[in-house]
A and B are shown apart, each in its own frame.
Chain A
């Protein structure tokens, strides 16, 4: 009878605890949303990102019209005699010098940019969080090893590394995203996350958890990581931008040969000589869409990051 009572009590408390947690969580979501909406720049960024998302999602319907004409890589429009052709209703952003539709290139590149950015950012954020927490918690030798690794990776000879890598395997955009994510995860992002984790590790509740007999793994998982997660999330936004940018720059320099991306679009237009002198204004549709795409999407992620800043860093809030 007594045991039943205890079990009943446990269940009751358990359910209430669960409810309490849920309501606390919901409250946090509400406050953070309010803070985010207060910073209007974050909302602006979010709107742009959603617009790009819709733009990329339309892609399958757009190329379904006629796959042989609208394919972003091997398409060709034989009803037009001279390529590149100026924007028409059939090709709202014109065609490039080999007769491919620029709008469908833009759409497919948007999907590439999104996937690449998110994959790279996920890798960066999760590695930086774990390494930062572990380095700050253990300190000493572990810390030194990770921090010096980060220093070296920040100097990493990327330009020479990409040709080596492409000799060993085909660099698809997914693999490229993973490489960028790994490099910046162990590199620059770790330094920042670790400095935040150092502040957490010295808090009294970590001491309390140790006294209560929590294992190192338990303390890192339940007490350190949740407190630095918000900062990692913020850096995720910035590393999306970094991934899109570095792909574009490396493609532009001709070091990277992925199938289709904004960088590749600009690279091929510049290689064919459409980006010099008077050609630039005459054939504006060859470079403007891709350039605007890169700039706008990067700016949007950056703005969202800025909007998240006051949530992560309470000292930036208005009093």
Chain B
């Protein structure tokens, strides 16, 4: 196992370099360079040339590549051309929290919805409920995302006026405030992390507190309620609850769109996985014991069926950092996806390559993590 992990780690390192090299070549092969931004014919050629020299795009490709790689190894991703004095890291750190909070919420949302519906439709196989849920889910899944998002905006934001049309904050509200939106995003992530950590600890220690299931349930609910209460009190006391609510208000529509549009994939995965476990002997044994149907479904069948969901969830979480190009463009959510499209469109290659490399490394490690996770969770697989 140790040797396997080591070998795969080496491969991931090699892959990262191969990936950066390929992306570098493709980005350099794109027609034009950053000076195309200044399209005005009044700019004399000398100025254009001076700009090229300043950005270093006039140098031979090989020396540009060598310099990029040496800087990359030092952890320096260079400077963005379009936002010139700002470094690529600076831009990534600015955009990442926004993308992360939005897409993490949406991913957790649609996986949870898919998991719940998937186990139910597998259990109710052959009923009208299964049929309608599957067909409905597949149609939502294949809806053309830009069109769906625009329809959602039109209905909820324009017709009903419940939610803002686009952007991620209301500038008017934030004008007099000292804290930046990233601080608030940081606190949101921190609060969520604290809550999840407390719940996991409560789950682990739940067994020691009481043996009966009912008492455990109250214990979990109590711990969860108290933690949530403390977090909310802290937010209100610090006076930043309004700002956080403002962000959540803007997040509602994109999350709704992504959740309803994507749950079918995980739902059908869960269904298939459930159908396989339902036939196992231990499910029949659980039934023979006279356990209630719900209990058999949730505690005996669904738990084993979770394995493919875990791997697919890990891969989905890794690509959360990519953000959704479509979602971010339509909801004007200035995150990683938009950065990627804009930097590619304007030939800002350091920013484009930096973003590609940053998100790509996470996906590569997620693939590795999935393989290891499989070996840990499924005792039948050995390396």
Contacts A/B (CB < 8 Å), 8 sampled = A148-B11, A157-B22, A157-B352, A167-B29, A167-B31, A253-B329, A276-B150, A316-B276
Q: What residues of chain A have their CB less than 8 Å away from a CB belonging to chain B? A: 40-41, 44, 144, 148, 151-152, 154-157, 159-161, 163-164, 167, 241, 245, 248-249, 252-253, 266, 270, 275-278, 280-281, 287, 291, 294-296, 298-299, 302-303, 306, 309, 313, 315-316, 318-319
What separation, in Å, do the CA atoms of A316 and B273 have in the docked complex? 9
Q: Is B226 an interface residue (CB 8 A)?
A: no
What separation, in Å, do the CA atoms of A277 and B203 have in the docked complex? 48
Closest to B359 in A: A155
The reply to whether B146 and A295 form a contact with Cβ atoms under 8 Å apart is: no
The reply to whether A316 and B275 form a contact with Cβ atoms under 8 Å apart is: yes
The reply to whether B139 and A155 form a contact with Cβ atoms under 8 Å apart is: no
The reply to whether B326 and A155 form a contact with Cβ atoms under 8 Å apart is: no
What separation, in Å, do the CA atoms of A88 and B295 have in the docked complex? 59
The reply to whether B143 and A157 form a contact with Cβ atoms under 8 Å apart is: no
The reply to whether B272 and A309 form a contact with Cβ atoms under 8 Å apart is: yes
Report whether over half of chain B's contact residues are helix, strand or loop; otherwise say mixed.
helix
What separation, in Å, do the CA atoms of A294 and B370 have in the docked complex? 33
Chain B residues within 8 Å of A157, by CB: 22-23, 26-27, 344, 352, 356
Q: Which listed residue (B26, B29, B145, B279) contacts A319, Cβ 8 A?
A: B279
The reply to whether A155 and B360 form a contact with Cβ atoms under 8 Å apart is: yes
Closest to B27 in A: A160
Q: What residues of chain B have their CB less than 8 Å away from a CB belonging to chain A? A: 11, 14-15, 18-19, 22-23, 26-27, 29-31, 125-126, 131, 134-135, 138-139, 141-147, 150-151, 154, 158, 268, 272, 275-276, 279, 325-326, 329, 340-341, 344, 352, 356, 360, 363-364, 367
The reply to whether A163 and B30 form a contact with Cβ atoms under 8 Å apart is: yes
The reply to whether B147 and A315 form a contact with Cβ atoms under 8 Å apart is: no
What separation, in Å, do the CA atoms of A281 and B159 have in the docked complex? 11
Closest to A167 in B: B31
The reply to whether B19 and A155 form a contact with Cβ atoms under 8 Å apart is: yes
What separation, in Å, do the CA atoms of A299 and B140 have in the docked complex? 9
For A144, A167, A248, A295, the residue with the greatest tally of chain B CB atoms inside 10 Å of its CB is A295
The reply to whether A152 and B19 form a contact with Cβ atoms under 8 Å apart is: yes
Tell me the minimal C-beta distance from A233 to chain B in angstroms.
Answer: 17
The reply to whether A306 and B138 form a contact with Cβ atoms under 8 Å apart is: yes
Q: Which listed residue (A40, A163, A287, A302) contacts B147, Cβ 8 A?
A: A287
Tell me the minimal C-beta distance from A243 to chain B in angstroms.
Answer: 13
What separation, in Å, do the CA atoms of A241 and B147 have in the docked complex? 17
Known contacts A41-B134, A291-B147; decide if A241 and B142 are in contact (CB<8 Å).
yes
Report whether over half of chain A's contact residues are helix, strand or loop; otherwise say mixed.
helix
What separation, in Å, do the CA atoms of A277 and B153 have in the docked complex? 9
The reply to whether B279 and A164 form a contact with Cβ atoms under 8 Å apart is: no
Chain B residues within 8 Å of A291, by CB: 143-144, 147
Chain B residues within 8 Å of A155, by CB: 19, 356, 360, 363-364
Closest to B271 in A: A316
Known: A148-B11, A155-B356, A280-B151. 7 other contacts (CB 8 A): A148-B14, A155-B19, A159-B341, A252-B146, A280-B150, A295-B147, A302-B141
Closest to A281 in B: B154
Q: Which listed residue (A41, A241, A278, A280) contacts B131, Cβ 8 A?
A: A41
Known contacts A164-B26, A167-B30, A249-B326; decide if A316 and B147 are in contact (CB<8 Å).
no
Tell me the minimal C-beta distance from B323 to chain A in angstroms.
Answer: 13
Tell me the minimal C-beta distance from A43 to chain B in angstroms.
Answer: 11
Known contacts A151-B367, A266-B146, A281-B154; decide if A164 and B341 are in contact (CB<8 Å).
no
The reply to whether B15 and A298 form a contact with Cβ atoms under 8 Å apart is: no
Closest to B329 in A: A253
The reply to whether B364 and A315 form a contact with Cβ atoms under 8 Å apart is: no
The reply to whether B344 and A159 form a contact with Cβ atoms under 8 Å apart is: yes
Chain A residues within 8 Å of B26, by CB: 157, 160-161, 164
The reply to whether A277 and B31 form a contact with Cβ atoms under 8 Å apart is: no
Chain A residues within 8 Å of B341, by CB: 159, 253
Tell me the minimal C-beta distance from B262 to chain A in angstroms.
Answer: 13
What separation, in Å, do the CA atoms of A160 and B340 have in the docked complex? 9
The reply to whether B364 and A151 form a contact with Cβ atoms under 8 Å apart is: yes
